[in-house]
Amino acid sequence: MKFFRFRKKRDNGRFSWKNLSPEFRQKKKAAEILIADSRDSADYYVMLIIATLIITFGLVENNAAVIIGGMLVAPVLFPILALGLGAASMRPSLFIRSLRVLIASVVLILTLSSAVAYFMDPGTFVNTQVELRLSFSILSVGVAFLAGFAGGYAWVRESLRANLPGVA
């Protein structure tokens, strides 16, 4: 990928955003949108609470379809992508902000799901869905890496943004 491909005509040898390739401008715009969309807000936390409840009910019900539906509602993709962007572009403020949002999200998710599960039948805590979510293998790492790559690639290409929910 050529990030700094200039057109033949330059403005007296000075740097100008007009001289940058269309691909670079598209990537710059995608990064700006990602940074704006990865901020925490009331809407972010409302969607996170809804997704947490859906996923918790799906785990208690032992229903994979409900769990996947809750994952599609969860808004954590943008802070995760912004965390990667902050690390890749060496922007500590973006990295720290995204990490803070993700830590707050994990604390909220664990607190809410634990509170909801506490009031449900204790015998439903360990079922096949919970066991599947707690298992770890090298294939899981590969799937996570490829899903992250697909999400980043789809985010930069405007024509592929409709595929982002499939990354979940």
Mean pLDDT by 10 residues, the chain (168 residues): 48 56 72 79 90 88 83 85 84 90 93 85 62 72 76 69 58
| pLDDT of res. 153 | 73
Instruction: Find the Cα–Cα–Cα–Cα dihedral 97, 101, 106, 112, rounded to 10°.
Output: 160
The overall pTM is greater than 0.75: no
Measure the N-to-C terminal CA separation of the chain; round to a whole number of Å.
26
How high is the pLDDT of residue 166? 54
Q: What is the pLDDT of residue 78?
A: 84
